[in-house]
């Protein structure tokens, strides 16, 4: 039987349609092979949907307006440009399969799926009333596909958290700088290990950040050393911040820290990272961490400190510290050409060079602040904490007790002692308690880390013999970092300089 055919291929996301993916080429190849093997001739198409979901539409007319290949296919069918539409699987139409089948039947065009090979009838004999067996099979296929998708999603959300809480393994992808051990690439339960090539650069990123360097400078370091980015071909400051914020490097594995949502206006996927802490499952991982939790909290504190004034610039000695003695607004440094050091001037950001407001060269300000610091550092500085022994932490015992309660609750529910509503309510209560304990512990560790940093910074300043030389010759970013640990702000006026310590 000589039939004219057109091919149909579709994927739901742009990720599946990008170069290097094989779903669409495989669909087109399978449909072409199945049709030519039967002696059919391609007379239209192929019609390819590259990254649009067919699951969200109730009415075929709405889908036809928004999915161009669908509209073109139905138009070609109405003009009788082909006799049969060939697709690799029935779920390539998703929830539209029955509506498309009925519309094509009204044009006397048949539907053929490689995974459901029902022999077509001659075009002149075809009628929807003679294809009731096809309609039944398509209906059953649609139901089966929907059930399978729902079952897969349900198993994912129910069982994936256990991979974190029970196995201590990452949920999906492995953090940048880690890999599976050689020979275990296909083992789903393999414990990741630090990559000997990439992990030293992750450590260097951490050291540069904590020594006061901007993320732009970290990006420059990575590019100079030809370090390959995680996914793209270029390093970005946001990529550096996302890597350093990841608690995986401190030994923590998480599930649900971000979620993919679909923008209904563009049908594009976006990643939502603003997930409430009580909705994130996390536990101690089995992998070897690159640094401890105290360092992780220092990283978070440093990134938070830079948030307001962050512009991706290289810090100087007094970045983010200086205030105008007249209006209290921040000062900014104007580099008025390379003709001499006195051309670099600090000015009030609100009133500029107005009479009475700050207008002082950088080299002059260096000497004045150095003299003020020398008068403050030798004695006991108020507001600066000294390092003390940390009190005994009971958080681990509290978390262990709560996780034990959660395990017993699940056992009781599986044994039939608790009904679903009561179990779900109690489970949410325990998870909320766990999140509250973890949040309080994180705040305690952050405060303790800040106090330790202040104490170390004070000790370092006390050991410096020549503060003016240190301010002028040391790395400006590192100087700025040390001063921020100790100083809240520096008020500058024509008459005097006041330093407010933390």
Render pLDDT for 323-362 as a digit per residue (tens, 0 to 9): 888 888 888 887 766 556 667 888 888 776 666 677 788 8
Q: Which residues on adjacent β-strands are paired with residue 179?
A: 193
* Same structural domain, 298 and 322: no
* Same structural domain, 329 and 411: yes
pLDDT attached to residue 308: 59
Check which CATH number belongs to the domain holding 97 and give it.
3.40.50.1390
Check which CATH number belongs to the domain holding 261 and give it.
3.90.1750.20
Q: Which domain holds residue 254?
A: 178-305
Task: Give the integer Cα–Cα distance in Å for 378 and 213.
Answer: 28
Mean pLDDT within 488-498: 84
Percent of residues, the chain, with pLDDT higher than 70: 81
Residue at 167 is within a domain: no
Q: How many domains does the chain have?
A: 3
Task: Give the integer Cα–Cα distance in Å for 179 and 189.
Answer: 13
Please tell me the total number of residues recorded for the chain in this structure: 502
* Same structural domain, 375 and 493: yes
Block residue for tokens 């495989």? 26
pLDDT attached to residue 462: 75
Residue at 164 is within a domain: no
* Same structural domain, 255 and 383: no
Mean pLDDT within 303-314: 66
127 or 110: whose pLDDT is higher?
A: 110
* Same structural domain, 333 and 254: no
Confidence of residue 244 (pLDDT cuts 50, 70, 90): very high
pLDDT attached to residue 317: 84
Residue at 498 is within a domain: yes
CB 271 within 8 A of CB 423: no
Residue at 310 is within a domain: no
Task: Give the integer Cα–Cα distance in Å for 175 and 179.
Answer: 8
* Same structural domain, 248 and 368: no
Q: What is the pTM (predicted TM-score) of this model?
A: 0.43
Task: Give the integer Cα–Cα distance in Å for 149 and 413.
Answer: 26
Q: How many Cβ atoms sit within 10 Å of the Cβ of residue 322?
A: 25
* Same structural domain, 450 and 500: yes
Torsion of CA 306, 308, 311, 315, to 10 degrees: -40
């Amino acid at each position: 039987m000589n039939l004219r055919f057109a091919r149909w291929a579709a994927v739901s996301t742009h990720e599946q349609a990008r170069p290097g993916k094989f779903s669409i080429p495989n669909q087109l190849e399978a449909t072409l092979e199945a049709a030519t093997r039967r002696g059919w001739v391609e007379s239209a198409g192929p019609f390819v949907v590259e990254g649009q979901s067919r699951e969200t539409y109730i009415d075929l007319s709405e889908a036809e307006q928004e999915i161009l290949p669908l509209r073109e296919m139905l138009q070609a069918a109405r003009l009788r440009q082909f006799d049969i539409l060939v697709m690799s699987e029935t779920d390539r139409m998703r929830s539209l399969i029955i509506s498309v089948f009925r519309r094509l039947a009204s044009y006397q065009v048949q539907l053929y799926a490689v995974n459901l090979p029902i022999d077509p009838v001659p075009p002149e004999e075809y009628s929807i009333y003679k294809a009731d067996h096809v309609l039944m099979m398509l209906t059953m296929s649609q139901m089966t596909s929907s059930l399978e998708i729902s079952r897969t999603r349900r198993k994912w959300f129910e069982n994936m958290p256990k991979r974190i809480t029970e196995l201590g393994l990452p949920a999906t992808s492995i953090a940048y700088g880690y890999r599976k051990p050689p020979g275990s690439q296909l083992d789903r339960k393999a414990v990741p290990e630090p990559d000997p090539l990439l992990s030293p650069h992750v450590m260097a990123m951490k050291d540069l950040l904590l020594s006061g360097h901007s993320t732009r400078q970290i990006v420059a370091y990575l590019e100079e050393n030809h370090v390959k980015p995680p996914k793209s071909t270029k390093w970005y400051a946001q990529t550096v911040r996302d890597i350093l914020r990841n608690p995986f490097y401190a030994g923590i594995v998480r599930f649900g820290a971000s979620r993919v949502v679909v923008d209904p206006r563009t049908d594009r996927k976006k990643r939502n990272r603003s997930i409430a802490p009580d909705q994130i499952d996390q536990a101690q991982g089995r992998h070897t961490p690159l640094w401890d939790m105290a360092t992780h909290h220092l990283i978070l504190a440093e990134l938070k400190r830079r948030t307001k004034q962050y512009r991706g610039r290289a810090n100087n000695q007094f970045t983010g510290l200086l205030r105008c003695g007249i209006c209290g607004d921040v000062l900014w440094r104007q580099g008025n050409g390379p003709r001499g050091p006195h051309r670099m001037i600090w000015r009030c950001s609100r009133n500029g060079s107005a009479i009475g407001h700050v207008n002082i060269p950088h080299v002059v300000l260096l000497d004045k602040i150095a003299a003020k610091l020398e008068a403050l550092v030798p004695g006991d500085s108020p507001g600066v904490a000294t390092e003390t022994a940390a009190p005994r932490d009971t958080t681990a015992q509290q978390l262990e007790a709560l996780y034990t309660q959660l395990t017993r609750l699940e056992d009781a529910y599986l044994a039939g002692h608790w009904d679903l509503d009561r179990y779900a309510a109690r489970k949410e209560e325990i998870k909320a308690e766990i999140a509250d304990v973890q949040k309080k512990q994180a705040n305690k560790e952050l405060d303790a880390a800040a106090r330790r940093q202040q104490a170390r910074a004070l000790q370092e300043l006390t050991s410096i013999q020549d503060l003016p030389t240190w301010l002028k010759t040391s790395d400006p970013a590192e100087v700025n970092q040390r001063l921020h640990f100790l100083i809240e702000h520096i008020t500058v006026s024509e008459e005097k300089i006041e330093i407010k310590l933390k």
